[in-house]
Each structure stands twice: as C-alpha cells, then as structure tokens.
Amino acid sequence: MIRIRSIMTRDVITISKNSTVREAAQLMASKSVSSLVVVERNKPVAVVSERDIIKGVVSKRKNVRDVMGREFMVVSPQATFSGISRSLKEKKIKRFPVVENGRLVGLITETDMVEATRDFTRFHQIVQEVILAIFGFATAFFLFYFSPVGASIFG
C-alpha cells in the first residue's frame, strides 16, 4: 500500500493570509508553483491557487485572505494513495496539505498523483519484462534440452 509520505512534496511554499495578492503572485512565479499553502503558526488554514490570484486581481482585492480558497482537506502522511485518489475524484480537490502532529509537513497535489501513477506503471512494466525474460530463457532451455541436439549433448 502506497503512503502519501512517499510521494508528497516536502518543501512546501507557504504564505501568510495578511500578505498581498501581488506578493503571492510574485512568490508563485519565483518558485514556479501553482499554489501556496496559507499558514498560521505552521498550520494550514487555506490554499491559494493561481486561479484565486487571477480572481483577486480582476476583482481588485488586495490581500490573500480575501482570495484564498477555504475549501481544502488536510491529510496525514499515513493516508493511502487510493484514499487520496478517491478524494481527488469525488470532492474535486486538487491540493492536500499534509499535516503531522499539528504541523505542515508536505503537500500532495494532483500532479504528484499523476507522476506517482506514471512511476507505478513504469515499475509494473519493468517487472513484467523481467518475468517474460525469465520465462523466455526457461522455455528456450527446455526446448533445447529436450530437442535431438540437446539430447545428444546432455544425454
């Protein structure tokens, strides 16, 4: 069972709800991220996305607290990949702050989930290729061993 701890982003970019929309946009641009976790005393209180920033600019709102998305779900590092995957589909939440012992320790995003799925698929393909190679060698050996040439060599 895959745990969120193994696929989460550990270096979470955070911001205060008292920061300006402009500061949030500059931070996102400088760190090349599409969202920020809004924190108070290292506890997530919201998530602000690029979309929230655009809405804030259009509506001329000044502070992060005025544009941040308050609908988010906090998860444990022990949460499972399948559980988060269900929440992605059902609740249409794309970012999950990861909290342990009351502190922000990571972030799991839809992109992290897609990359993990891609990694699982690659691993699965490699395992299949190894198994096919082993069976191929075993089949070739037995075909040779029981062939007339093999019988004359081993017999």
How many C-beta neighbours within 10 Å does residue 2 have?
16
Digit-by-digit pLDDT tens for the chain (155 residues) are 678 888 888 899 999 999 999 999 999 999 999 999 999 887 899 999 898 999 888 888 889 999 887 777 888 888 887 777 777 777 777 888 999 988 899 998 888 877 877 767 777 788 888 899 888 888 888 887 777 876 777 66
Q: Which pLDDT score, from 0 to 100, does residue 48 have?
A: 92
At 113 the pLDDT is: 78
Q: What is the pLDDT of residue 155?
A: 64
- pLDDT for residue 1: 67
61 burial type by CB count under 10 A (0-12 exposed, 13-18 middle, 19+ buried): middle
- Residue 153's pLDDT is 76
Cα 69 to its chain centre, rounded Å, is 20
68 Cβ contact partners less than 8 Å away, ≥ 6 residues apart: 17, 38, 45, 46, 47, 48, 52
Domains, the chain, ordered by start: 4-114 (3.10.580.10)
> From the centroid of its chain, how far is CA 134?
33
Assign 89 to helix, strand or coil: helix
Residue whose C-alpha is closest to residue 44's, from 72, 18, 76 = 72
